[in-house]
């Protein structure tokens, strides 16, 4: 009979440790990776927007100007709005908009609370 309480305590300890590792893993791995993906998407959107609307090249040709990073980047264009969007893994997307006289600009980033 004494084995059951000891086993139950070990099980509780393992669950608590796994929960702590999960929370720590989020802070250690998810947030930095998400931030890196966001930066790469922003960089790709701005470079591709400049290539497309300042350089006058086709969007498909601009793909080779985007530096290769940790994440695969997919570009899309909204020609009437003069926007180029870059989408990367983890559901991150950034859009750069061309404005005459200003070039390609990214929207202001909001910092998480």
Q: Domain extents for the chain?
A: 3-105
Three-state secondary structure call for residue 10 = helix
pLDDT of residue 17: 76
Task: For residues 99 and 82, give the distance between their C-alpha atoms in angstroms, rounded to a whole number.
Answer: 8
Asked if residue 86 lies in contact with residue 75, where contact means CB atoms within 8 angstroms, the answer is yes
Give which of 58, 60, 63, 33 is closest to 47, Cα–Cα: 63
Q: Is the pLDDT of residue 1 over 80?
A: no
- For residue range 4-36, list pLDDT tens digits in order: 677 777 888 888 777 776 666 655 666 788 888
- For residue range 60-86, list pLDDT tens digits in order: 999 888 888 888 899 999 999 999 999
For 62-99, give one letter per residue: b (16+ CB within 10 A) or e. beeebeeeebebebebeeeebbbbbbbeeebebbbbbe
Three-state secondary structure call for residue 77 = strand
């Amino acid at each position: 009979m004494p084995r059951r309480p000891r086993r139950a305590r070990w099980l509780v300890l393992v669950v608590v440790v796994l929960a702590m590792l999960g929370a720590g893993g989020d802070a250690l791995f998810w947030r930095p990776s998400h931030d890196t993906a966001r930066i790469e998407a922003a960089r790709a959107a701005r470079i591709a927007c400049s290539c497309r609307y300042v350089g006058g090249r086709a969007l498909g040709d601009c793909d080779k100007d985007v530096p290769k990073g940790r994440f695969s980047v997919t570009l899309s264009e909204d020609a009437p709005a003069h926007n180029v969007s870059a989408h990367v893994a983890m559901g991150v997307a950034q859009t750069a908009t061309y404005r005459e006289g200003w070039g390609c600009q990214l929207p202001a980033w909001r910092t998480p609370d």
